[in-house]
């Protein structure tokens, strides 16, 4: 399908995220999206075949920005611990600035449906860390028995739980304010036993 022009995205995407972050997934339809955005249903369907394709396209575009921002922030850093800390911080800072995106991605969207989409796989997000992790394993900073997928799974599990907890408790704090305990847990999970106990 054709790519929606940026000027239409700027009108449409914030409305879609606002609706999905404040309503159940099945409570949002193209008619209401059209009414609130001022963009006709016909125009929306020209670029997206369904509300599912629309929201998944938005999630893919927006969440991919986290990887791009992370890459800039960790450029030149050597400490794998500080690199991972920065990855967590950048992720949570991004969601602090885009709370509607966080709620939509982690709370509203039905996972079974999203898992069928390419955008769910997020292959790009942590791929930039592969070289850093390999070097850290060689230096004994990270448990050499842990595979790259297992390390990234630990990262995603902690992100999911932390954001669920933040939402459940009313989103009354910034995600960047209270992530230290979760980061400490992650670091203990990926470092050698003697290393994690010492620190």
The pLDDT of residue 122: 64
* Residue indicated by tokens 């408790």: 169
Confidence of residue 198 (pLDDT cuts 50, 70, 90): very low
Instruction: Tell me the H-state helices in 75-143.
Output: 80-97, 99-103, 111-114, 118-121, 130-138
* pLDDT mean over 111-115: 84
Average pLDDT, the chain: 90
Confidence (pLDDT) at 164: 95
Please give the pLDDT value at position 49.
93
pLDDT at 197 over 50: no
C-alpha R_g of the chain? 19
Q: List, for residues 46-98, the tens digit of each pLDDT value.
A: 999 999 999 999 998 998 898 889 889 998 888 999 999 999 999 999 999 99
Spatial neighbors of 34 by CB under 8 A, at least 6 apart, are 40, 41, 44
Q: Look at 65-69, 115-119, 162-166, 180-184 and tell me which has the smallest mean pLDDT.
A: 115-119
Q: Lowest-pLDDT range, 29-33, 48-52, 67-71, 183-187?
A: 67-71
Instruction: Please state which of the four CATH numbers 1.10.760, 1.10.357, 2.40.160, 1.10.3470 is assigned to the domain occupying 63-198.
Output: 1.10.357
The better pLDDT of the pair 48, 193 is held by: 48
Confidence (pLDDT) at 196:
45
Q: How far apart are CA 184 and CA 199, in angstroms?
A: 9
Averaged over 129-146, what is the pLDDT? Answer: 91
Query: Are 4 and 12 within 8 A, CB to CB?
Result: yes
Q: Answer whether residue 167 shows pLDDT above 70.
A: yes
């Amino acid at each position: 399908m054709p790519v929606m022009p940026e000027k239409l995205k700027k009108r449409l995407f914030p409305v879609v995220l606002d609706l999905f972050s404040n309503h159940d997934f099945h409570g949002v339809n193209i008619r209401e999206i059209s009414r609130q955005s001022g963009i006709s249903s016909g125009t929306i369907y020209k670029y997206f075949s369904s509300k599912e394709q629309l929201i998944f396209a938005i999630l893919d575009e927006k969440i991919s920005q986290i990887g791009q921002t992370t890459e800039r922030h960790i450029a030149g850093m050597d400490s794998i611990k500080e690199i991972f800390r920065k990855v967590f911080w950048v992720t949570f800072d991004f969601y602090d600035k885009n709370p509607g995106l966080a709620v939509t991605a982690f709370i509203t969207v039905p996972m079974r449906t999203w898992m069928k989409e390419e955008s769910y796989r997020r292959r790009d997000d942590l791929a930039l860390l592969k070289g850093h992790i390999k070097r850290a394993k060689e230096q004994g900073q990270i448990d050499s028995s842990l595979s790259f997928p297992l390390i990234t799974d630990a990262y995603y599990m902690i992100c999911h739980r932390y954001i669920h907890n933040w939402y459940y408790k009313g989103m009354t704090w910034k995600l960047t304010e209270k992530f230290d305990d979760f980061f400490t847990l992650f670091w203990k999970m990926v470092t050698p036993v003697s290393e994690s106990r010492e620190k």
